[in-house]
Amino acid sequence: MAETLTATTVRELAGEAVSSDTRVLTLVVEGMHCGNCMRKVERTLQAVPGVVAARVNLSNGRAHVTTASTGVELDTLVEALCGVGFKSYELVEGTVPAHAAHDAAYLRRLGVAGFAASNIMLMSVAVWAGIAGDMDASLKTLFHWLSALVAIPAVAYAGQPFFQSAARALRARQLNMDVPISLGVTLATGMSLYQTMRGSDQVYFDAAVSLLFFLLIGRYLDMAMRSRASSAAQNLLGLRAAAATVVLPDGTTQRLPTRDVVPGMRILVAAGERIPVDARVRSGTADVDESLITGESRPRHVEVGDTVYSGTISVTGTLETEALAREENTLLADISRLMGAAEQARGRYVRLADRAAQLYAPAVHLLGLGTFIGWMLLGHGWEPALTAAVAVLIITCPCALALAVPAVQVAASGRLFRSGIILKAADGLERMAEVDTIIFDKTGTLTLGEPRLENGANIDDATLGRAAGLAIASRHPYARAVVAAAKARGLAAAPVPDVAEVAGAGLRHVGIAGEARLGSASFCGVSESIADSGSTLWLHTPDGRATAFHFTDPLREDAASVVIRLSNAGFHVEILSGDGRAAVAEAAGAAGAAIWHAGLKPADKIARIDQLKAEGRKVLMVGDGLNDAPALAAGHASLSPATAVDISQTAADAVFQGERLAPVIDVLLVAHGARRRALENFGIAIGYNFIFVPLAVIGLATPLIAAIAMSASSIAVTANALRLSRQHLGRLA
């Protein structure tokens, strides 16, 4: 069974985003509705002394702030955001913001606006029908006053989210998109009241309340869809156990919140319970469902000494465990941070949308001002000029453009995680969608990476024990197989101190008697004619004796079908391996790969990748060995199994779990799907502006129509992104 990510590995991966001398705070920022809001929050946070970086996720309303390890207080960040009109607070890891009350308030305001709009519309229809039939002036005025009595309190209550946001921005001497909305609603209501007092027919109470009604519908649906597209990392943390049964020194038990558990505590886990924190089994045996972490449906049998992980479930049996980490330092939390870093980072499409929105924002305000001046110069008066300008400002809010790619990115990350794939690089999917060549390493990639020592019966105990002492310092599959063979024979595999691992070559140790080496034939000074006899490690001892260790390593169950599907889809597939020709030829034949290269050093793999690049190919490198790390970095995109050594996972754009190779196809399908959704969203955002902005400028789109169109565009791009979560992606092109 393939191993899952180890806690150490995940922490090292997550450490790419956060170095040891920094810390990350996650803030919930209220009132962000568009790309301008997002950039304003980022700029404000980055201007705070001691802040290393700030990234805002508009989809879930959070800001991830990387600060120096000392010197930046939470209150400083909160006050800085308050100064530009945004209320914020820290999100304690593992908790979810209380959206329910916020959503309920929006629903109440939406209900009030809808009730008021429908009643005012009925009175307006009666008035305009009455005007055509010569309605009595006093009755008409009465209907206008009744409309005012309904509209004014409805506007005051239902418009609070927009008014409060606009007021915070103005107090901070800033502008946001709620300012023109509030201005439009207030002016329409005030002008209507003024015209009612004058006895005029130009009353727009219905337009003002309907504008709020449609804006609230758009905001509510937008928030609901963003919530559906919320981070898979956040959902993952929601699966942690809320409490733990702690065994006290006197033998009694006590239920404690998981956040209060510290390393060393004895934790009792009954059958059917989730394991609260990473722990080591002290007593008992059980089958543990680790599908949450590994993607494998088959439970793992654990016994005394085994490590179990937070969020997994003891299916059978009761375990007494010893806590190894606090809640925030568990493997589950580390995977969540790793996924969050990928979701939060800026891919190329996101950066493109950011640059477009950055240029777009000042153009919008200039266009609104130009519309107002143009209408005034044409002699239409300040009232229609202001109405047209407000419609322009509302309709050109860049919400759709800002959400176009982040929503796709979050949906793609969530879908991949459900398939056992952890995306590490934000632009990794964009690059994977461009590849036309797939290169596989053999050992641990096409194969299970669990080789068995084939000629162990021909190796004496002393030689096997010496090799195991060197091999225990490495995570290479052949090295682990040597250690496993020694343990199976009952030999004590004591680690040799000061063993150096040479990438792509092997292990070396210089002792009093001389130098011992365990690795490839060339590394151990064995001639190629002797060495080319299959998958082999050589042990070269100080006395000059060389011993061969031959291994067999079965292909992954679906390796052949995956290679065939990739080839049939038009991908150029090759195998690059450091193993001997016989072993690679056998594996390539079984997998159906026509092109293969054996006996390659890391530099040889890079040279082949560079050659393919020179031919204009975009290479996806799939590998797991120490010697694959440079090749992974050299490829256009890269993918590693969870059994990969740490340096390879660090170099890869994504890591897949489980014993199957199918995730390679899954990640390519999602990559192509994500690119389609992102381009479609760009098309929706651009098309919307192309159609409605000119209509607003010439006065054919009223503020009411502008509000409907703006809300519809944001909902459209978010809904289109959400299709990626469950949509059947078809076949590779």
Residues serving a catalytic function are 441
Under a CB-based contact definition with an 8 Å cutoff, are residues 675 and 669 in contact? Answer: no
Under a CB-based contact definition with an 8 Å cutoff, are residues 642 and 4 in contact? Answer: yes
Backbone angles phi, psi at 366, to 5 degrees: -65, -40
Half-sphere exposure of 455 (CA within 13 A, CB side): 14
Whole-number Å distance between alpha carbons of 45 and 394: 27
Whole-number Å distance between alpha carbons of 273 and 245: 10
Report residue 86 CA to chain centroid gap.
25
Instruction: For tokens 């999100």, name the residue.
Output: 91
| Extended beta strands in 146-271, E state | 243-247, 253-257, 266-269
Under a CB-based contact definition with an 8 Å cutoff, are residues 323 and 267 in contact? Answer: yes
Tokens standing for residue 647: 């340096």
Tokens standing for residue 377: 């110069």
Under a CB-based contact definition with an 8 Å cutoff, are residues 556 and 530 in contact? Answer: no
Tokens standing for residue 576: 């690059």
Under a CB-based contact definition with an 8 Å cutoff, are residues 524 and 533 in contact? Answer: no
Q: Mark residue 241 as left, alpha or beta (left: phi above 0; alpha: psi -120 to 50; beta: remaining).
A: beta
Query: Which residue, 48, 33, 116, is CA-closest to 79?
Result: 48
DSSP state for residue 659 in the 8-state scheme:
S
Whole-number Å distance between alpha carbons of 669 and 577: 26
Under a CB-based contact definition with an 8 Å cutoff, are residues 80 and 47 in contact? Answer: yes
Sheet order of strands, 619-622 included: 421-423, 654-656, 637-641, 619-622, 437-440, 572-576, 595-597
Classify strands 654-656 and 421-423 as parallel, antiparallel or unpaired.
Answer: antiparallel
Q: Which amino acid is at 564?
A: I
Whole-number Å distance between alpha carbons of 548 and 537: 6
Query: Which residue, 162, 283, 294, 175, is CA-closest to 216?
Result: 162
DSSP calls for 98-139:
-HHHHHHHHHHHHHHHHHHHHHHHHHHHHHHHHHHTT--HHH
How many residues appear in the chain?
Answer: 733
Whole-number Å distance between alpha carbons of 43 and 716: 28
Show Cβ contacts of residue 293 under 8 Å, excluding neighbours closer than 6 positions.
Answer: 4, 5, 309, 311, 312, 331, 332, 335, 657
C-alpha distance from residue 454 to each of 451, 457, 482 (Å)? 9, 8, 10
Whole-number Å distance between alpha carbons of 721 and 675: 10
